[in-house]
Amino acid sequence: MIGAGEPAGRVGDSAPVTSTRPTALADGRPRPGDPLDPDAAVSVRGMVKRYGDRVAVDGLDLDIRRGEIFALLGPNGAGKTTTVEVLEGHRTRDAGEVRVLGVDPARGGRRWKAQLGIVLQSGGGDSQLSVRELLQARAACYAGPLDPDEVLELVGLTERAGARGRTLSGGQRRRLDVALGIVGRPRLLFLDEPTTGFDPEARRQFWALLRSLRDLGTTMLLTTHYLDEAEALADRVGVLARGRLAEVAVPTALGGRGTAPAVVSWTEDGVRRTAETATPTAFVQQLAARFPGEVPGLTVARPTLEDVYLKMIGEHA
């Protein structure tokens, strides 16, 4: 499988970035007033979108690096859908600068749109056409599509190529949605709540598929309400709250997770005890000295991504 204008063996643009990228803030966002980053897959400065008197997106500054999976998190009404629709060229902004793959989405033509893949919450699975026919029909819309059979192999649907779309399981339909999204050789793939309704096994199989696409060089913007999904997939996450970007970070560092105190719990004298400590290793060593063997019921936990996310959106509510 090959991307447009690239050597065989990868999809999209995975060339190493050797740019003059502006110095970002500590949390990964560009500094206010920085120019657009010409090396980013997505570069946004001061984007504003209003619906009447309501401001849906309020001065968004964001860079998404080429070849990364970026998860955009936020409660309903935070501005995620509006942001993604502006980036896709489906909605106009009221202010700010935006470049997606080097092009202003408001003026993106057919050639630019052909570089995007979009996987919505519902796709082409409910169809009387076969999986291969659906993919062939989509491929015919592009000047240089990927081979449909190669795409079926990549998403694990080769054995279901002759099956009608409506007969697929939920997980198989989602794989078909991704196949339809990537058959045009996208450099940037938008994924809107991709695993809604999946069972746990199907979700993990789908995550493996997305990781394989990233390894092939495809940049992805993921919106999801599943915090474990963001932690499992995303190179970085951004939290939108009330139309503003509260923070951008790798999942393990969001909201200070990496340096937050740990909570140590154990059972002693028949009573469940807990303690908060910034040095859990030393604390557990001291605790272990009080017991002849294993510390009963010992657990050590730091804040989860869900913990810090809920705290962040609560603070911005």
pLDDT band of 9, cuts 50, 70, 90: very low
Domain spans, the chain? 42-255, 259-315
pLDDT band at residue 88, thresholds of 50, 70 and 90? Answer: very high
pLDDT band at 89 (very low <50, low <70, confident <90, very high): very high
- Picking from 16-30, 43-57, 176-190, which range would have the lowest pLDDT averaged per residue? 16-30
**pLDDT digits 0-9 by tens, 97-114:** 999 999 999 999 988 998
* Phi, psi at 194, each rounded to 5°: -70, -25
Higher pLDDT, residue 316 or 176: 176
Burial class (CB in 10 A: 0-12, 13-18, 19+), 31: exposed
From residue 25, alpha-carbon distances to 8, 41, 260 in Å are: 36, 18, 20
State pLDDT tens for residues 115-144: 999 987 665 556 789 999 999 999 998 888
Q: What pLDDT is attached to residue 59? A: 93
Is the predicted pLDDT of residue 303 greater than 60, yes or no? yes
Q: pTM of the prediction?
A: 0.80
Task: Say whether pLDDT at 146 is over 90.
Answer: no
Residue 173 confidence (pLDDT) above 90: no
Is 30's pLDDT higher than 70?
Answer: yes
Output the 3-class SS for 75-116: CCCCCHHHHHHHHHCCCCCCEEEEEECCECHHHCCHHHHCCE
For 211-237, the pLDDT digits (tens) are: 988 998 999 999 998 999 999 999 999
| CATH architecture of the domain with residue range 42-255 | 3-Layer(aba) Sandwich (3.40)
pLDDT at 80 over 80: yes
Rounded to the nearest integer, the mean pLDDT of the chain is 86
The pLDDT of 10-21, averaged and rounded, is 41
